[in-house]
Amino acid sequence: MKFICAKSNLLAGLQVVSKAVPSKTTMSILECILVDCTEGQIKLTANDMELGIETIIEGDIIEKGIIALDAKIFLEIIRKLPDNDITVASDSNLKTTITCEKAKFNIIGKSGEDFSYLPQIERNDSVIVSQFTLKEVIRQTIFSIADNDNNRLMTGELFEINGEELKVVSLDGHRISIRKIALKNSYNPKKVVIPGKTLNEISKILSGDADKDVSLFFTPKHVVFEFDQTTVVSRLIEGEYFRIDQMLSNDYETKVIINKKEFLSCIDRATLLVKEGDKKPIIINITDGSMELKINSTVGSMNEQIDIEKLGRDLMIGFNPKFLIDALRVIDDEQISVYLVNPKAPCFIRNDDNSYVYLILPVNFTTVN
pLDDT number for residue 256: 98
* Residues 109-134 as b or e (16 or more Cβ within 10 Å = b): bbebeebbebeebeeeebbebbbbbb
Q: What is the per-residue pLDDT across 157-180, written as a single tens digit (0 to 9) for each?
A: 999 999 999 999 999 999 999 999
Length of the chain: 369
pLDDT digits (tens, 9 = 90+) for 34-78: 999 999 999 999 999 999 999 999 999 999 999 999 999 999 999
Q: In what order do the strands lie in the sheet with 290-296?
A: 301-307, 290-296, 282-287, 315-319
Domains of the chain: 2-114 (3.10.150.10), 127-243 (3.10.150.10), 248-360 (3.10.150.10)
Integer angstrom CA distances of residue 313 from 112, 118, 168, 286, 310? 68, 57, 32, 8, 8
Asked if 110 and 57 count as a contact pair (C-beta separation under 8 A), the reply is no
pLDDT digits (tens, 9 = 90+) for 134-161: 999 999 999 999 988 789 999 999 999 9
* 190-213: burial string, b at 16+ Cβ within 10 Å, e else: eebbbbbbbbebbbebbeeeeeeb
Specify whether the backbone of 200 is left (phi greater than 0), alpha (psi in -120 to 50) or beta.
alpha
> How many other C-beta atoms can be found within 10 angstroms of the C-beta atom of residue 275?
10
More confidently predicted of 231 and 280: 231
